[in-house]
Amino acid sequence: MKSANVLEKVLVTGGAGFLGSHLCERLLKTGADVLCVDNFFTGSKANIAHLIGKPTFELMRHDVTFPLYVEVDKIFNLACPASPVHYQYDPVQTAKTSVNGAINMLGLAKRLKARILQASTSEIYGDPEMHPQTEGYWGRVNPVGIRSCYDEGKRCAETLFFDYWRQHNLNIKVIRIFNTYGPRMHPDDGRVVSNFIVQALRGVDITLYGDGEQTRSFCYVDDLIEGMMAMMQSRDEITGPINMGNPTEFTMRELAELTLKLTGSKSKLSFLPLPSDDPRRRKPDITVAREQLGWSPKVSLEDGLKETVRYFRHTLDL
């Protein structure tokens, strides 16, 4: 046990990214001493600029594919490009970040006897035949497709986490993150929420793929961060994997129409062919998160989109 006057030291890899920056902010509010590590491939100093200078926040430029030697009590491993545009730009590096990054962070956690949380993904399930997806579903994933660098990299990372747990009795936590959105998303990351908002604000056609009837479930970033905090603080025997996302399902057409309503845009809908290996349906079963963590999302899609639209209006000056 740490004494009351000693701050808990927490490492966040990928800490300058969309989710990582929100997590760093949330950890600082709990009184933690936060070490934010990022190589700035997709992360941005702008995301954590308001945290620099705080006495309990430290920023380090580092690539997790190389070993890291620091002293911390807990590790949140978020480092990895998470949008198809970014992870397909350098697929070999993406796979290395997931696999070598996991090996390096698990090795660090083993040396320090630290608790470590892996930010895994709903892409574990691929283009699922089970709907909604439960943690017991093994997935339907293409191992040689254009998305495989990310999908299979994250699957291998989960394997490593559970092997370290079985072989070395490491204190692990694994969450599978479904579509999450909110302020600090990258405007050109190719994700559907940022795409639709930016296109609507710029007055260009909103791009839908296929017939626009494929579905996703959208979780606001504040809800997701609370889930991550709850998982890290949970009992040792709760290892996961645990789904984290919003189980309310929307079609892409519904999302586009709501975006047009909230932005007041006159943009039209434009339909293009469906990309390779793009899942038709994606919806989490969050029964385990509710039962084991007492967690479920609170923010509605409309309320979350309002905040996200406000952020992009300010950021893009539109």
Phi first, then psi: what are they for 317, rounded to 5°?
55, 50
Those residues whose C-beta lies under 8 Å from the C-beta of residue 18, and which sit 6 or more positions away, are: 47, 82, 180, 182, 184, 185, 186, 221
| C-alpha to C-alpha distance for 102 and 79, rounded to whole angstroms | 9
Give the closest residue to 208 by CA, choosing from 217, 197, 196, 200: 196
Give CA separation, 83 vs 13, 80, 95, 124, 298, in Å. 17, 9, 13, 14, 24
Count Cβ atoms below 10 Å from residue 175 Cβ, excluding itself. 24
| C-alpha to C-alpha distance for 90 and 310, rounded to whole angstroms | 31
| C-alpha to C-alpha distance for 24 and 10, rounded to whole angstroms | 9
Rounded to the nearest 10 degrees, how much is the dihedral formed by the CA atoms of 191, 146, 286, 130? Answer: 130
So which residues are the catalytic ones?
150
Amino acid residing at 70: V
Q: Where are the beta strands (DSSP E) in the chain?
A: 9-13, 33-38, 57-61, 74-77, 115-121, 172-177, 180-181, 206-209, 215-217, 219-220, 242-244, 249-251, 269-272
